[in-house]
Homo-oligomer: A and B are copies of this chain.
Amino acid sequence: MGERVGFIGLGIMGRPMARNLLAAGFPLTVHSRGAGPVDELVAEGATRGEDPAGVAASSDVVITMLPDTSDVEAVLLGPGGVLEGAQPGSIVIDMSSIDPAPTRAMHAALAARDVAMLDAPVSGGEKGAIDGALSIMVGGDEAVLARVRPILEALGTTIVHVGPSGSGQVCKACNQLVVAATIEAVAEALLLAERSGVDGARVREALLGGFAGSKILEVHGQRMLDDGFDPGFRIRLHRKDARIVEEAAAATRTPIPSFSIVAEQLQKAVDAGDGDRDHAALFAELVREARSAT
């Protein structure tokens, strides 16, 4: 348990994750764009890192939890970045949700300087982060995963090694594809019921036990019936993840005909001002379209 851990990116997800590492007893150096979250973590026992290079210089394992691909590239490879400070034999775990292809490129750039990298995006949201109950999808070398497993176990309850570098991000993209497409399908079905004069609650109940049954029908279907769209997972974040899906599909020439439409629906919802509502509000987007059509 002696590994010194660095944590870069103290946002909604990163903050509780860093806190769980402190609670698990890991010596922790933190850095983030905003001073507030850093001050908070320092008050709780972490050490301040002046920049990513500084964090790397005093850590055996550096975790990044950042909004987008370009952020991870800047923090790892940019001036004052992790690569400038990282010691040979150290490990970077990128837990952000970003593009698989640039992930593989960063993996290679770090490997050339004897720094290992895992991609380890998560699902489970803010609640999972707070509870240390995230699902973690890991791409990269299995021996590297074995070494950092005790660290990841402080953050999540399910840790799946998916495959080589980039596989964790591909898996996360698949997850976000299925989740958004299922939400859209449930929304279309419940709206069809409602507009046919049929009680959506009865339909949800009748469908739950059969082949139409899913976690989404259960949870997000209920949100649609309740008109309860507080996040949860924000539509604008799912729109960002949809872009990753689209880029991964384009890069591999994979047809995603139905998801392309779902991505458009996410974009329309953002454009309509629903970006900060839960992704179940894809239902509200359909309702708007139905109203403007009649």
- 19 more CB-based (< 8 A) A-B contacts, given A178-B186, A192-B254, A213-B215: A137-B206, A162-B198, A166-B196, A171-B193, A171-B207, A178-B214, A178-B217, A181-B184, A185-B259, A188-B249, A188-B257, A192-B248, A196-B248, A214-B215, A253-B294, A258-B258, A258-B262, A258-B265, A261-B261
B245:A181 contact, CB within 8 angstroms: no
Instruction: Judge whether A197 is part of the interface by a CB distance below 8 angstroms.
Output: yes
Contacting residues, chain B, for A188 (C-beta < 8 A): 177, 181, 249, 254-259
Could you tell me which A residues sit within 8 Å of B by CB distance?
Answer: 100, 123-124, 135, 137, 158, 160-164, 166-167, 170-171, 173-175, 177-179, 181-182, 184-186, 188-193, 195-199, 202-203, 205-207, 209-217, 219, 245, 248-249, 252-262, 264-265, 286, 289-290, 293-294
Task: Say whether A255 contacts B181, CB under 8 Å.
Answer: no
Question: What residue in chain B is nearest A196 (Cβ atoms)?
Answer: B170
How far is B177's CA from A137's CA once the two chains are assembled, in angstroms? 30
Closest to A257 in B: B261
A207 / chain B contacts, CB cutoff of 8 Å = 171, 174-175, 178
Nearest chain B CB to A197 CB, angstrom units = 7
Interfacial chain B residues near A193, Cβ < 8 Å: 170-171, 174
Contacts of A249 in B (CB 8 A): 188, 192
With a cutoff of 8 Å between Cβ atoms, the chain B residues found around residue A123 in the complex are: 210-211
A–B complex contacts, Cβ < 8 Å, 30 sampled? A158-B206, A160-B206, A162-B203, A162-B206, A166-B198, A167-B196, A167-B198, A170-B193, A174-B189, A174-B207, A175-B189, A175-B210, A178-B182, A178-B189, A178-B207, A178-B212, A178-B214, A179-B211, A181-B185, A181-B188, A181-B258, A184-B257, A191-B254, A192-B248, A192-B249, A195-B253, A196-B248, A253-B294, A254-B286, A257-B265
- In angstroms, how far is the closest chain B Cβ from the Cβ of A37? 27
A10 to B97, CA, bound (A): 53
A182 to B180, CA, bound (A): 10
Q: Which of A163, A195, A197, A257 has the most CB of B within 10 A?
A: A257
**CB closest chain-B residue, reference A167:** B198
Contacts of A259 in B (CB 8 A): 185, 188
Residues of B within 8 A of A212 (CB): 174-175, 178-179, 182, 215
B205 touches A163 (CB 8 A): no
- A90 CB to nearest chain B CB (Å): 26
Instruction: Kindly list chain B residues whose C-beta atoms are within 8 Å of the C-beta of A198.
Output: 162-163, 166-167, 170-171
Q: How far is the CB of A235 from chain B (nearest CB, A)?
A: 15
